[in-house]
Amino acid sequence: MSMSIDSADSVVATRSPSPNIVGLPPGPSTPSLVQTYRYVRNPLPLLDECARRFGDMFTIRLLGTAPWVFIWSPSLLRTLFAASPDVVHAGEANATVFGPIAGAASVFTMDESAHLNRRRLLLPQFHGDRMQVYFEQMREIAMQAVAGWQRGVPFALNRETQRMTLHVIIRAVFGIETNRGDGESHALVRALTELANKAVGSSLLLARPLQRDWGVWSPWGRVVRIIRRADEAIYHEIDRRRSAADVADRQDILSLLLQVHDDDGSLLTDREVRDELVVMLMAGHETTGTALAWAFERILSLPEVERRIRRELDAVLGSGSLTATHLTQLEYLDAVVKESLRNRPIMPAGGARLVRRAFDIGGYVIPPGSILVNAMYLLHRRPELYPEPDAFRPERFVGKRVIDPYEWTPFGGGMRRCLGYAFALFELKAIVATVLSRVRLRIENPNAAVVRRGFFLAPEHGPRVARVA
């Protein structure tokens, strides 16, 4: 199964409905079963079709969930992202898809004051001086991966990027080196790897009616048991870490979470710590690994882009080794990463909000129970924002220190923007720079088509690459 996202006709002129229509915007009239099948199997043509027919807002009905209202204009997103947190709930919307894995006690699935308080506690772990600590881990993991690539032997690059980002997040969050440690650490790594690779990416997360545990051999039953095994390992590690003599001296996020206090002075419960750890694993593995695969696919498919990155690396690094400070000087690489996130989104939509009270947006009064969704695939292809949107042009972002948060939304927006936003961009640049400064790769299938990988959109065949130098 493959699909193409090279269709500029996905964008049409805005159609303004009559003001204050109570109800949902129009959408496909086909049965919800058909809409669900099309969205799960191949969402991009469906979104293109709806954009052409219905304009900046349209409704898609998926089995087992409330109606999804897709929006894809900056002005509408501004209204959505600025909405009061007691009117629209992002946490509840996230839970409708990821709740079985993420749980209910994380910043990802919380709302209103609980979300704001937890976000304040976690934010320092992903910014500032901590980036230097993370950089050394990222660089070491990337170099270890590169050392295992044999010249002339093709391989699926996404497997390597997924492995790298998994190792990075386990090191950063749990403080465990995946290829070292004792038997208990290895058991935890195995459980987390299985959770990340087989549960987080499951397409069943989009099909709530199919989430039935009919035993160990049923599709959802396997997912449930993977989650249980991971929970057992995580709770065991939390218990072990709470009693560790060096917990106060460690720099991993698990150890730091065990020491933070809520406003009332209480420590986080084991369940709260577990849910935050799993959300970080979800956000830091599959998403970043897929974004990395697309970044390399774009760079290797476009020789001039690769040449400009290499010239910049030579100019900035000279004869020295890559450091965290160098990353701030790699302006073109930064633009390439941002353009890749625009041109090859890893998800068709994100930043969902569950409507709790009737919400006025775009001339419609959306009823409670509906879900508003940022259709970022369509947003990032608006020609008035990005002329010739199919073209890969990093120059769009060169010298652009501030990007309009309603025009470029790979990490969501408003108070619900991904906590790991800075961490993810830093990791993407660190790994791309490390790999390109050490090896040369040849892509076997340039301009790779898009394929479904569970919840995500990935390059076909990985893409396939081979080391040439």
pLDDT digits (tens, 9 = 90+) for 246-301: 888 888 889 989 988 877 888 999 999 999 999 999 888 889 999 999 999 999 99
Question: What distance, in Å, lies between the first and last C-alpha atoms of the chain?
Answer: 32
Average pLDDT, the chain: 90
Counts for the chain of helices (H) and strands (E), in that order: 17, 13
Segment 33-65, tens digit of pLDDT:
999 999 988 899 999 999 999 999 999 999 888
On the question of pLDDT at 105 being above 80, the answer is: yes
* Reported confidence tier of residue 453, pLDDT bands at 50, 70, 90: confident
- Contact of 235 with 274, CB cutoff 8 Å: yes
Q: Report percent pLDDT > 90 for the chain.
A: 70
The pTM of this model reads 0.91
The side-by-side arrangement of strands in the sheet containing 359-361 is: 21-22, 364-366, 359-361
pLDDT band at 330 (very low <50, low <70, confident <90, very high): very high
From CA 301, how far away is CA 444, in angstroms rounded? 9
Q: Sheet harboring 88-89: ordered strands across?
A: 57-60, 68-71, 371-374, 350-355, 88-89
Asked whether residue 8 carries a pLDDT value surpassing 80, the answer given is no
CA distance 71 to 374: 5
**Cβ(205)–Cβ(97) under 8 Å?**
yes
CA distance 335 to 305: 11
Summarize pLDDT for 83-92 with one digit per residue, the tens. Answer: 999 999 999 9
The pair phi, psi for residue 206, each rounded to 5°, is -90, 0
Q: What percent of the chain has pLDDT over 70?
A: 94
Q: What is the pLDDT of residue 2?
A: 45
Distance of CA 18 to the CA centre of its chain: 36
The residue among 269, 279, 267 whose CA lies nearest residue 230 is: 279
pLDDT at 125: 75
- Segment 145-170 shows an average pLDDT of 95
| Residue 11 banded pLDDT, cuts 50, 70, 90 | very low
Indicate whether 454 pLDDT > 80.
no
Integer Cα distance of 400 and 308 in angstroms: 18
Q: Which residues contact 402 (CB under 8 A, 6 or more apart)?
A: none
Helix axes 219-242, 183-194, angle to 10 degrees: 140
In 3-state terms, what secondary structure has residue 183? helix
Give phi and psi for 90, each to the nearest 5: -75, -40
| Sign, CA torsion 130/131/134/140 | negative
What mean pLDDT is predicted for residues 215-222? Answer: 91
Q: What is the DSSP string of 31-87?
A: -HHHHHHHHHH-HHHHHHHHHHHHTTEEEE--TTSPPEEEE--HHHHHHHHTS-TTT
The pLDDT-based confidence of 18 (bands split at 50, 70, 90) is: low
Question: What's the rounded Cα separation, in Å, for the pair 447 and 298?
Answer: 7
Residue 352 has pLDDT above 90, yes or no: yes
Mean predicted confidence (pLDDT) in 206-216: 85
- Quote the strand ranges of 139-247, DSSP E: 155-156
Looking at residue 247, what DSSP letter applies?
A: G
